[in-house]
Amino acid sequence: MDFNPYELVPHPDSPDLPGTVIVRDTPEDVLEVLGADLYVQAKACIRGFGDFHMALSGGSTPEPFYRKLMSDPSLRDFPWKKTHLWIVDERRVPFEDELSNFGMIRQIIVQHSDIPGDQVHPMQAERDDADVRYEDELRSALEWREKGHDRLDFVLLGMGNDGHTASLFPRSPALSADGRLVVFNDGPSVTPPDRVTMTYSLLNASRFIAVLVYGQHKRGTIERVAGRKAEPKDLPILGIEPLAGDVRWYLDQAACPEPA
């Protein structure tokens, strides 16, 4: 099939997920569309507000996307100088640990872009006050914007096989952290080590949420999301419901359930 990132005709295999669903045949094609959408969002926010606040997830799925951001000629003039980079969630390990989300993002993006150091916002996850420090950092970076625009512009999420997103794991305490922006999360359902995570309140206030999922191993979970029979406490990705923003799913065909 000829590849057209702006194609408006829905893919015949698109599952019925809560939000706009973009399906492409291969992960590479999916990343192409995601890159184009991210670029447009970044440029539009910088035109409107002067800067762009983007929060990135860890995990294995987005790694190739981060490499693409650094190497794809069509993204060469990505406006890093006006971008703030936030971390959606973090494991409570040093940045040098291979499990550190910021460690991976630093290696792939931060060290190879011209993003100013004071616009890079790692979570200091090992500290006892990591949650409130990050909340303060978010508030002070966003508070100068007009009321209503003081929110994250773009959030990239993944989804685990258990339906977790960010570090919001099924039946874990962080799911009910009302009024908080960032919290610690631990407990039996949290894949160790313990985490620090953005909450539903912060994520759902974002302007644009991209959920990137590919591979056949995620198909069963996509099926559960499309079935909408579970509750967010059992399938936390279902709690992603932006108040006034968009949620867009980026899937490859392998992640899509067979059409009925």
Residues that bind ligand 6PG (CB under 6 A): 57-61, 88-89, 101, 158-160, 164-166
Q: What is the SS3 string spanning the chain? A: CCCCCCCCCCCCCCCCCCCEEEEECCHHHHHHHHHHHHHHHHHHHHHHHCCEEEEECCCCCCHHHHHHHHHCHHHCCCCHHHEEEEECEEECCCCCCCCCHHHHHHHHCHHHCCCCHHHEECCCCCCCCHHHHHHHHHHHHHCCCCCCCCCCCEEEECCCCCCCECCECCCCHHHHCCCCCEEEECCCCCCCCCEEEECHHHHHCCCEEEEEECCHHHHHHHHHHHHCCCCCCCCHHHHCCCCCCEEEEEEEHHHCCCCC
Whole-number minimum distance, CB 259 to ligand 6PG, in Å? 24
Whole-number minimum distance, CB 43 to ligand 6PG, in Å? 26
User: Of the two residues 165 and 253, which places its CB atom closer to ligand 6PG in the complex?
Assistant: 165
Whole-number minimum distance, CB 6 to ligand 6PG, in Å? 26
> Which position has the token pair 């056949």?
216
User: Of the two residues 21 and 211, which places its CB atom closer to ligand 6PG in the complex?
Assistant: 211
Whole-number minimum distance, CB 185 to ligand 6PG, in Å? 11
b/e per residue 72-102 (b: at least 16 CB within 10 A): beeeeebebebbbbbbbbbbbbebeeeebbb
User: Of the two residues 89 and 135, which places its CB atom closer to ligand 6PG in the complex?
Assistant: 89
Closest residue to ligand 6PG: CB criterion: 158
Whole-number minimum distance, CB 156 to ligand 6PG, in Å? 9
Whole-number minimum distance, CB 157 to ligand 6PG, in Å? 6
Whole-number minimum distance, CB 88 to ligand 6PG, in Å? 5
b/e per residue 191-224 (b: at least 16 CB within 10 A): eeebbbbbbbebbbbbbbbbbbbbeeebbebbeb
User: Of the two residues 24 and 92, which places its CB atom closer to ligand 6PG in the complex?
Assistant: 92
Whole-number minimum distance, CB 168 to ligand 6PG, in Å? 8
User: Of the two residues 93 and 230, which places its CB atom closer to ligand 6PG in the complex?
Assistant: 93
User: Of the two residues 51 and 104, which places its CB atom closer to ligand 6PG in the complex?
Assistant: 104
User: Of the two residues 27 and 58, which places its CB atom closer to ligand 6PG in the complex?
Assistant: 58
User: Of the two residues 35 and 163, which places its CB atom closer to ligand 6PG in the complex?
Assistant: 163
